[in-house]
Structures are given as structure tokens and as C-alpha cells.
Structure 1
Amino acid sequence: MARHADNREQFRPNGHDNDNFLLTTVVGSYPKPKWLNRSKELADDESSKFDDDDLAEAYDDAARVITHEHENSGLDTVVDGEMRREEMVEYFAHRIPGYEFNGPVKVWGHNYFDKPSVASEVEYDEPWLVDEFEFTSDVAEKPVKVPITGPYTLARWSFNEAYDTEEELAYDLADLVNTEVEKLVEAGARYVQIDEPALATTPDDHAIVGECLERIVDGIDDEVRIGLHVCYGDYSRIYPELNDYPIDEFDVELCNGGYEQIDVFTDPEFEPDLALGVVDVHTAEVESVEEIKENIKEGLKVVPPEKLTVSPDCGVKLLPREVAYRKMENMVTAAREVEAELDDGEIDVAGLRRSPAGSQA
């Protein structure tokens, strides 16, 4: 079941102007500075004097810059933009004993993915993200969220050469993620997001994802906010089953589809908090504050304000950096204006809420 933990208010900024509070965040990835990409090229060039220590400094500099960029936009919780990550499965596979790499695989068009193989039983060796979290926490003045690729996606998007089933592999990986989350919590993390994009492509496996989540949260204090991010799928195939997931927040992409699926989450009642994508990460057009305010109201059809989180649809790494920043900035402004309008009674929340039939309540 949803955790129903009272862990949201810890992210309300000190001196917040409004009584209502819509938590603002990002999913994770952010455009990398061009000089960081150039630094990686130099580090790979044997004729260059730019070495691994220089590259490590470049990663730190980029993480520092993007963390501050997130804070400058006004976000309540920030990440480092995943500056050290190139691909969401490959990054973790390099850190998990049992995985190996055999070269890139063509996935669509002319795009290649360095798809890893699970050659032996997976194990936990050293922390994956603790150093990064501690670095970002030292840089940031706002609370830091930690996105982690989920065990189901790590299993589905790899070649399985060691386990009888992908399900068994996913459960072993979930136990490893649990260990990592424990270490992050010991380091001070209070907001962890599990990314499971593979669920959108294989929704019939929702029970496997649910069991993975049970393993991940085992022993994790209720003060730690656990989110689940899923994108680009037919959500009717995992709802209402996701109400049984042990999560505080379900982060969903709906802006790109014009909120055509919003009514999916109205019958039966949506139980976790809703993190709603309110800007489209697939277009370089920057949504106006007024447009984003209307998108936020779509979320109020499903949950009351105290259960609504506002975010982009997904990671914004493929957008031009200036566009990504302006989307975030407008998103935060829109959230604060909606809060003020809620305080003043200008938004009829009861009138927005959907009845089980999908009609206006």
C-alpha cells in the first residue's frame, strides 16, 4: 500500500509566502555544459595532457554549476542534473559486480546503446551515489533529491545470461538498491526517486515492480520520501494496481499527451501523492506561466494541493540549456501563483476534482 508518510512538509522552504505548498522538483537529467563534453573528449585523447583528475574536476564543476542553476530557478528540491551520468542503465551497471559490457547495440535508427550483460550473480560492492550526494548536498542550500534507475529497468534493459528469469534478476537487483538507499539515508538523503521507464513498455509486469519496491523500502524510515517515476505508457494498464505500491509519490508524464489520460487516475481514488509533469520535455517551446498554471490544475483533478508535486514530464537533458532553465523558472512561478490563488479561494478545488465516472464532481 502507499506509505502515507507525513514526509512532504520537510521540503517547504523557510519563510514560504503561501499557506498552500506545491512541492516543485525535477525528474533528474539536465543539459550538460558544452565544456564538459569537450573535457570528456580531451580525457579520451591520448595526445592530450588533460587527464582523469582534470576530468573529475570538470564533473565537480559542472555538478556545482547545475545545482546552483536549479536553485536559481526557485526549485524546492534539486539534483546535480546527473552530470556524471551518460545513460541510466550503463551508469549503474558499471558499478554492479556481475555486469559486463560487450560493445554497443543498435536500438533504433542510427542510435546505439552500450547494453550490458549480466554474466554472473549481481553483488553490491561499493556505494554507487553516496559521494555524489554528499558533494551536491555540500554545494546546495536546498534539499537534494536522488534519482536511481530501478531494478526492473536494470534487469529488462540488460542481456540476462546468469539468471533463470528476469524476475529473479530484478529481485536481486532490488536488494542491492535497498542497500544503496540505506547508505544514502545514512549520508542524509531524505528524497529518493526510483526510475522505472521499462514498466511503461511491459505493464503486465506491474506485480514484479511492486515486489521490487517492497524490497527497496524494507527498513527505510518513513521520513524518507520515496518516489516512483514512470513515463510514456498506457497508464490504465498499471492503475489502480500502483495504489498498492509502497511509495509516497508517483511521478508521471502526461503533459506531452495533453493530459488525455488524466481521468485514468480518478477511479478508484488515487492514493499516493501525484508528481505531475507540467512542461513538455520534447519541445523547445517554453510554456508560458499561464499555460503551466492550467496544467497544474489538471493535477488538482486527481489530488488535493497538499498531495501535488510539480515537475517536468521527464529529464530535460535533450533540450537546449537555456530552454530547460526557462521551463523550470516558469514552472516554479506558476506553482507559486497557483498557491496564492488557492490561498485566496480563487481556485475551486472541489469543482476540479473528478467523480469516479470522470465527470465534474
Structure 2
Amino acid sequence: MTNENKDQFKPADHPNDHFIMTTVVGSYPKPKWLNRMQDLYEEDDGPVDEDDWQEAQDDAARLITEEHERSGLDVIVDGEMRRNEMVEFFADRIEGYEFNGPVKVWGHNTFDKPSVVTDVEYDESWLVDEYEFTADVADKPVKVPITGPYTLASWCFNEAYEDDAALANDLADLVNEEIEKLVEAGCRYIQIDEPALATTPDDHQIVGDCLERIVDDIPEEVRIGLHVCYGDYFRIYPEILEYPVDEFDLELANGDYEQLDVFKDPEFTADLALGVSDVHVAEVESVEQIKENIKKGLEVVPPERLVVSPDCGVKLLPRDVAYGKMENMVKAAREVEAELDAGEIDVGFAHASADD
């Protein structure tokens, strides 16, 4: 794998020589009417049938895809309008899982924690239809987030495998199969979500082994990112640099960049997708504040290896706040690029300025 495939996502009419790619991690607030339609669809003998529900999801995916584009993002997703929860959605589509009922995760939020009761098997595609619909609607490149095998293994009850490593390896083979189908459909940017890595960092080798299986035979021009939610990053760095991915998407704004120095020594050799907007704060940061956050990324990597996004999915925010964060993030990135072009920013990337 190489990390030299970012420029394929640079718009032909990009206003600056420098290119700090802007994207999102994945989830976005669902329109209130979509949640209401789902309630009606799930009613016994309710007024919403399968065709109605499909049309509602299509409308929501089209609406949010266009909202992402209107904000100016370089790479977009559909806000995961067709998904419920990041484990539950995939477990429902993998042979070998069964569901036991909702489990409380935080606050008043729950998810239907599944059990693996037999060997996992790939049945039918999980995301190709979603990708093809979004790509058809969008004028911008489309990224596909997919929950990683380690999280799919860790956040379930394992009743069929010797340990989570064995389960995760089998799941990695299924993820590889799905990614191959996405690539065949034209997708060039795939993000593996492994939030469980930050909570159980001692298992970083399992994640690395899974990633090796996932990227097997995937063309180099396909960009593979790894999103790791907030955690004790010093416990997995620099070991994660061995992972065969192009970029690491890290949640650092939430911790006020206290862990930024972790990634300065040894040198960060991959692309950095830096969280520059705190998704836990229901306020839109100013363009100036986001610019300062972007510049923190330039302490770790040179501009050509920097990507910016919100810290994590924004589905729990008010929709107007989520949009405002995206819009200001794009404005901030474009202003930083222009200042870089003009030589007005002293890039703090240590390995690029060792003589300072």
C-alpha cells in the first residue's frame, strides 16, 4: 500500500495549489421524518410498506448526499441513512450472527448486541447498492465506511469460536470480499472503522493481522483508511504504523489535542486524517478555531499528507450544527491552503524542518 493516492480526489477546479482533503467519518443526523417513517414501517400492519420504506431511505440518502456536497466537502458519504448501528447493521447481514435484544451502551442509547452462534459466512453484498446509489447522486467522490472485523468480533457475544482473534480473522475475510465488490463497483476510498481498538489496545496485533487479510489483492489506487475513536493512543503507537493502510483517522479534538505529541516521535509515516471539530460539542466552531486545529496537524505531517474531518460521526448532533461544522471546516481548510500557497504558514512538521 502507498499513501500517494490522495490527489485523485483533488477537484479539477480546486482553487489552491495545496490540497488538504476534507471529508467526514460517516454518520449524520437523520431527518426527523425518516425516523417517523421507520416507526410506521415497523408497526404491525402499519401504513408504510417495504416499497414506501425503500423510497424514504432513498430520499434521505439523496438529501444528505446533496447536503454534504453543498457544504463543499471534497469526499462525501450519504450520512449512513440506511444504517441503524455500526455493529448491528452488519451482523444482520452476516450468516452466523443472531440477536438477543437491546443492550444499554451509554445514556439512554442501546444497541441490539448480537451473538455469533456458528461460523460466519458471507451471504450477499452489504454496501454495494448503497455505494452505487450515492455515487449516482453525487458529483463528488464517495467514501464508504465499513465496520472493521475486530470491532464486529469484540462487540458481540462469541459463542462459536475459540477466541475473538479467530472470529476476527474470519470476519476479515468477509470484509475483504465486500471490499472487492465495492472496488468492482467503482469505489476508490474505503474507511475501516475500529473503535474497539482504542478500548482494547493490547490487541493491536489482531487488528494488524485482520487488515493484512482485508487489503489482500486490493489495488493500490484504492485508498484505505482506518478510523480509531478516542483512546490511549500511546498504547498503540508506533505499532500501528505497520498497518497496511493509507491513512489513520484520529479523534483528537475531543481531547484538546493532548495526545498530539504521541504521533511526533517516531515520525508519523502515513497520511493523517485529523479530527478538527469536536462532535461532542453541539456548537459550531468558528473558521478561525478550526484553522488553528488544522495547523496542529501540520506539526505531525506535511500538508500533502493531511486530511481533515470531524472527530467522529455526527449523528447525535442537531442537523444544523452538523452542517455548520462541515461548512466551516471546508472554509478553514481552503484558507489554510491559500496561506500555505502564499508561504504565510510556518509548517511545524518536525521531520520537514530538522534544520530549524
- After superposition, the C-alpha distances for 1:204-240 in whole angstroms (9 at most, x for unaligned) are 0001000100000000000000000001101000000
- Does the 8 A contact of 2:267 with 2:351 survive in 1? no
- Does the 8 A contact of 2:3 with 2:270 survive in 1? no
Indicate which of 258, 265, 271 corresponds to 1:260.
Answer: 258
Corresponding position of 2:241: 243
Matched, 1:353 2:353: no
- Does the 8 A contact of 2:275 with 2:308 survive in 1? yes
How far, CA to CA, are the matches of 1:298 and 1:159 in structure 2?
40
Corresponding position of 1:335: 333
Indicate which of 112, 115, 118 corresponds to 2:116.
Answer: 118
Structure 1 residues not aligned, in runs of 5+: none
Indicate which of 319, 322, 333 corresponds to 2:320.
Answer: 322
How many residues in Structure 1 have an aligned counterpart in Structure 2?
355
- After superposition, the C-alpha distances for 1:227-286 in whole angstroms (9 at most, x for unaligned) are 000011010000000110000000000001110100000001001100000000001111
- Does the 8 A contact of 2:65 with 2:77 survive in 1? yes
How far, CA to CA, are the matches of 2:294 and 2:34 in structure 1?
34
How far, CA to CA, are the matches of 2:107 and 2:309 in structure 1?
30
How far, CA to CA, are the matches of 2:10 and 2:345 in structure 1?
21
- After superposition, the C-alpha distances for 1:289-310 in whole angstroms (9 at most, x for unaligned) are 0000000000000000000001
How far, CA to CA, are the matches of 2:172 and 2:43 in structure 1?
37
- Residues 181-192 of structure 1 mapped to structure 2, 5 A cutoff: 181-192=179-190
Corresponding position of 1:26: 24
Following TM superposition, by how much is the alpha carbon of 1:15 offset from its aligned partner in structure 2, in angstroms? Answer: 1.2
- Residues 120-199 of structure 1 mapped to structure 2, 5 A cutoff: 120-199=118-197
How far, CA to CA, are the matches of 1:108 and 1:334 in structure 2?
33
Corresponding position of 1:80: 78
Indicate which of 88, 91, 113 corresponds to 2:89.
Answer: 91
Indicate which of 100, 103, 125 corresponds to 1:102.
Answer: 100
How far, CA to CA, are the matches of 2:132 and 2:355 in structure 1?
46
How far, CA to CA, are the matches of 1:157 and 1:243 in structure 2?
24
How far, CA to CA, are the matches of 1:134 and 1:355 in structure 2?
41
Q: Which amino acid aligns with 1:353?
A: F
Q: Which amino acid aligns with 1:124?
A: Y
Corresponding position of 1:200: 198
How far, CA to CA, are the matches of 1:118 and 1:210 in structure 2?
22
- Does the 8 A contact of 2:202 with 2:235 survive in 1? yes
Indicate which of 207, 231, 234 corresponds to 1:233.
Answer: 231
- Does the 8 A contact of 1:24 with 1:335 survive in 2? yes
What SS does the aligned partner of 1:182 have? Answer: helix
Following TM superposition, by how much is the alpha carbon of 1:110 offset from its aligned partner in structure 2, in angstroms? Answer: 4.4
Following TM superposition, by how much is the alpha carbon of 1:50 offset from its aligned partner in structure 2, in angstroms? Answer: 1.4
How far, CA to CA, are the matches of 1:238 and 1:245 in structure 2?
11
- Relative to structure 1, the CA distance from residue 139 to residue 253 in structure 2 (aligned partners, 3 Å threshold; closer, same or farther) is same
What SS does the aligned partner of 2:122 have? Answer: coil
- Does the 8 A contact of 2:16 with 2:338 survive in 1? yes
What SS does the aligned partner of 1:35 have? Answer: helix
Corresponding position of 2:37: 39
What SS does the aligned partner of 1:120 have? Answer: strand
- Does the 8 A contact of 1:5 with 1:223 survive in 2? no
- Does the 8 A contact of 1:263 with 1:354 survive in 2? no
Q: Which amino acid aligns with 2:59?
A: D
- After superposition, the C-alpha distances for 1:126-155 in whole angstroms (9 at most, x for unaligned) are 110000000000000000000000000000
Corresponding position of 1:276: 274
Percent identity of the aligned residues?
74
Following TM superposition, by how much is the alpha carbon of 1:81 offset from its aligned partner in structure 2, in angstroms? Answer: 0.1
What SS does the aligned partner of 2:145 have? Answer: strand
- Does the 8 A contact of 1:39 with 1:55 survive in 2? yes
How far, CA to CA, are the matches of 1:90 and 1:253 in structure 2?
23
How high is the TM-score relative to the length of structure 1?
Answer: 0.96
Q: Which amino acid aligns with 2:341?
A: D
Indicate which of 292, 295, 299 corresponds to 1:294.
Answer: 292
- Does the 8 A contact of 2:3 with 2:247 survive in 1? no
Structure 2 residues not aligned, in runs of 5+: none
Matched, 1:14 2:6: no
Matched, 1:224 2:222: yes
Following TM superposition, by how much is the alpha carbon of 1:354 offset from its aligned partner in structure 2, in angstroms? Answer: 3.7
- Does the 8 A contact of 1:27 with 1:312 survive in 2? yes
How far, CA to CA, are the matches of 2:327 and 2:109 in structure 1?
32
- Tell me how large the CA RMSD over aligned residues is: 1.4
How far, CA to CA, are the matches of 2:203 and 2:58 in structure 1?
38
Following TM superposition, by how much is the alpha carbon of 1:46 offset from its aligned partner in structure 2, in angstroms? Answer: 2.7
Query: Higher mean Cα deviation, 286-295 or 46-55?
Result: 46-55
Which structure: greater strand fraction? Answer: 2
- Relative to structure 1, the CA distance from residue 360 to residue 324 in structure 2 (aligned partners, 3 Å threshold; closer, same or farther) is farther
Q: Which amino acid aligns with 2:326?
A: M
- Does the 8 A contact of 1:354 with 1:360 survive in 2? no
